[in-house]
Amino acid sequence: MAELSETINLDEIAVGLPSRIHEAMAGQVAKAPDRIALIEDGASWSYRDLDQRVSEIAAVLSSLEIRAGDRMIIVSENCIALAALLLAASRLDAWAIVANPRLSARELDQIRDHSGARRMFFTSRISKEAAAHASNRPTAEDGRWSAQRKRNRRAGGGRSSKTSRGADIHLGNDGDPEGSDALA
């Protein structure tokens, strides 16, 4: 194995890089808004399209009370929807944790509990595994979620990750908002 002959200075590498990932996209939106940014299964988004979808998703995330500093889990395959959700989280200064949908429910729960994530999001139209996880989770309208939230508040849990574990966004490959708790 080859050895490095000099030390790599990460500060020097980072000079000029954007501080948040969504800022890398902003330059392309300004320079070449009609250039293709993402392609998936014959569908493509220009940088303008991507910027518009990221804005829409960020608005939905905000309506679900995702704020700067919050952690959120995205259970997803690699897809356009994942890219848009990551960029939207960055725009809100939230921390996105990407999880493979092939993980077990127990493993996803451990990631949620360990990270303190406020919400979990699933690309349910892209991945049958993500859809299966989403269908087995309580939602905001589900009595199991409401009961869990009440138990957490009584226990002094306030706004813990368990308090808001259920109101999920489900993303498809087009990234369009659909419903109050879903993106399709």
Q: Rounded mean pLDDT of 19-33? A: 86
**Predicted structure pTM score:** 0.71
pLDDT at 20: 77
Who's near 153: CB < 8 A, 6+ residues apart? 163
Residue bearing the bigger pLDDT, 12 or 88: 88
Who's near 86: CB < 8 A, 6+ residues apart? 21, 74, 96, 98
- Residue ranges covered by each domain of the chain: 20-154
pLDDT (tens digit per residue) in 88-135: 999 999 999 999 999 999 999 999 999 999 899 998 888 899 999 988
Ramachandran assignment for 43, one of left (phi > 0), alpha (psi -120 to 50 degrees), beta (any other)? beta
Q: How many CA atoms lie within 13 A of 138 on its CB side?
A: 16
Is the separation of the CB atoms in 126 and 81 below 8 Å? yes
- SS3 per-residue string spanning the chain: CCCCCCCCCHHHHHCCCCCCHHHHHHHHHHHCCCCEEEEECCEEEEHHHHHHHHHHHHHHHHHCCCCCCCEEEEECCCCHHHHHHHHHHHHCCCEEEEECCCCCHHHHHHHHHHHCCCEEEECCCCCHHHHHHHHCCCCCCCHHHHHHHHHHHHCCCCCCCCCCCCCCCECCCCCCECCCCCEC
Could you tell me what percent of the chain has a pLDDT over 70?
72
Is the pLDDT at 180 greater than 50? The verdict is: no
How far is the C-alpha of 56 from the C-alpha of 52, rounded, in Å?
6
pLDDT (tens digit per residue) in 48-97: 999 999 999 999 999 999 999 999 999 999 999 999 999 999 999 999 99
Is the pLDDT at 33 greater than 80? The verdict is: yes
Is the pLDDT at 15 greater than 60? The verdict is: yes
CATH architecture of the domain with range 20-154: 3-Layer(aba) Sandwich (3.40)
How far is the C-alpha of 16 from the C-alpha of 12, rounded, in Å?
9
pLDDT at 7: 84
pLDDT at 120: 92
pLDDT at 145: 34
How far is the C-alpha of 108 from the C-alpha of 119, rounded, in Å?
12
